[in-house]
Amino acid sequence: MTEQKQPPRGLLVVYTGHGKGKTTAALGMVFRALGRGLRVTVVQFIKGKWKTGERLFAETLPQLRFHVMGLGFTWESDDLARDKAAARAAWETAREEIASGERDLVVLDELTYTFHYDFLPLEEVLEALRTRPAHVHVVITGRNAPEALLEMADLVSEMVAVKHPFTAGVKAQIGVDF
């Protein structure tokens, strides 16, 4: 691994797959980027109801913009129109942060679910990514990333669940799983 000599080029990174560690890996990139003094924004598209560990820690970091804009998981919802409006609002925030060029890293956490439920038109998101300022890194997480997004991405890591404690009857743990 050699350090860059070329001007920084913003990467499009996708963490997908059914294994654990997608949001977690994105948070790790935030951890690393903050150490370099990069300007970071996180937009969470689904999470919203819970006080997550990441949200609590983000509140201690004034240099980090952390927008929790989801309303919880769709399969628990009784108002899809409201969920769709929340996805739209989250995307408008994200799009402005990306297009402004004032952020170095923008994380779109669980964005892929908004395509799956037809809350957002994929083409609109791809266009915003395609035309973003050259230095802006974007990280997208979520299962079932659309093929066109994978094609555009510079880096795709698929998390494969080799073993998962929930299937073994171990419940979600505070501070570890959320």
From the CB of 63, what's the least distance to a second copy, in Å?
A: 10
**What are 26's two structure tokens?**
């994105």
From the CB of 46, what's the least distance to a second copy, in Å?
A: 12
From the CB of 132, what's the least distance to a second copy, in Å?
A: 15
- Interacting stretch for a second copy, rule CB under 8 A, among 48-56, 89-97, 112-120, 126-134? 48-56
Closest CB to a second copy among 60 and 81? 60
Q: Can residue 15 be called a binding residue for a second copy (CB under 8 A)?
A: yes
Closest CB to a second copy among 39 and 88? 39
Closest CB to a second copy among 17 and 95? 17
Closest CB to a second copy among 121 and 133? 133
Q: How far apart are CA 40 and CA 38, in angstroms?
A: 6
71 three-class SS: coil
Identify the burial level of 130 via C-beta atoms within 10 angstroms of its C-beta, where 0-12 means exposed, 13-18 middle and 19 or more buried: exposed
Q: Can residue 27 be called a binding residue for a second copy (CB under 8 A)?
A: yes
Q: Can residue 161 be called a binding residue for a second copy (CB under 8 A)?
A: yes
Q: Can residue 24 be called a binding residue for a second copy (CB under 8 A)?
A: yes
User: Measured in Å, how far apart are the chain's first and last C-alpha atoms?
Assistant: 33
Q: Can residue 85 be called a binding residue for a second copy (CB under 8 A)?
A: no
Q: Can residue 34 be called a binding residue for a second copy (CB under 8 A)?
A: yes
Q: List the interface residues with a second copy, window 90-149 (CB under 8 A).
A: 104-105, 137
Closest CB to a second copy among 3 and 81? 3
Angle at CA of residue 17, ends 14 and 19, nearest 5° = 120
**Torsion angle (degrees, nearest 10) of CA 57, 39, 123, 159:** -50
Q: How far apart are CA 172 and CA 176, in angstroms?
A: 8
Q: How far apart are CA 102 and CA 147, in angstroms?
A: 29
